[in-house]
Amino acid sequence: MSERRFRFGYVLAPKKVSSFIQDSLVNHAQEQGIDLIPIDLNKPLIEQGPFDCIFHKLYGPEWRKQLEEFSLQNPTTIIIDPIDAIEKLHNRISMLEVVNELKITQENETIGIPLQIFIQENSDSLLDHITRQGLDFPVIAKPLIANGTADSHQMYLVLKPEGLEELKPPIVLQEFVNHGGVIFKVYVAGEHVKCVKRRSLPDISEEKLGTLENLIAFSQISNLTAQDQNDDSFAALIENAEMPPLGFVTEVANQLRDALKLHLFNFDMIRDTRAGNRYLVIDINYFPGYAKMPSYETILTAFFLDIARRKQNNESG
Domain segments of the chain: what residues? 6-81+297-316, 92-286
Is 265 assigned a ligand-binding role in the annotation? no
- Candidates 296, 295, 294; CA nearest to 196 is 294
Strands 278-286 and 264-271: antiparallel
Is 180 assigned a ligand-binding role in the annotation? yes
Is 283 assigned a ligand-binding role in the annotation? yes
Is 272 assigned a ligand-binding role in the annotation? no
pLDDT, position 175: 94
Is 9 assigned a ligand-binding role in the annotation? no
pLDDT, position 223: 55
pLDDT, position 183: 96
Is 285 assigned a ligand-binding role in the annotation? yes
Q: Does residue 14 register a pLDDT over 80?
A: yes
Digit-coded pLDDT (tens) for 158-188: 999 999 888 888 899 999 999 999 999 999 9
Contact 282, 113 (CB under 8 A): yes
Digit-coded pLDDT (tens) for 252-292: 999 999 999 999 999 999 999 999 899 999 999 999 999 99
Is 316 assigned a ligand-binding role in the annotation? no
Digit-coded pLDDT (tens) for 294-303: 899 999 999 9
The CATH class of the 92-286 domain is: alpha beta
What number of other Cβ atoms are within 10 A of residue 68's Cβ? Answer: 12
| pLDDT, mean of residues 307-317 | 90
pLDDT, position 153: 82
Return d(Cα 200, Cα 238) in angstroms, integer. 9
- Close Cβ partners of 114 (under 8 Å, ≥ 6 residues apart): 174, 175, 176, 177, 280, 282
- When comparing pLDDT for 236 and 20, which is higher? 20
| pLDDT, mean of residues 59-86 | 95
Digit-coded pLDDT (tens) for 19-65: 999 999 999 999 999 999 999 999 999 999 999 999 999 988 999 99
Is 200 assigned a ligand-binding role in the annotation? yes
Q: Does residue 232 register a pLDDT over 80?
A: no
- Structure pTM? 0.93
Is 2 assigned a ligand-binding role in the annotation? no
Is 182 assigned a ligand-binding role in the annotation? yes
224 pLDDT tier (thresholds 50, 70, 90): low
Is 179 assigned a ligand-binding role in the annotation? yes
Is 65 assigned a ligand-binding role in the annotation? no
Q: Supply the Cα-derived Rg of the chain in whole angstroms.
A: 22
* CATH no., domain 6-81+297-316: 3.40.50.11370
Is 181 assigned a ligand-binding role in the annotation? yes
Digit-coded pLDDT (tens) for 95-143: 999 999 999 998 899 999 999 999 887 555 788 888 888 899 999 999 9
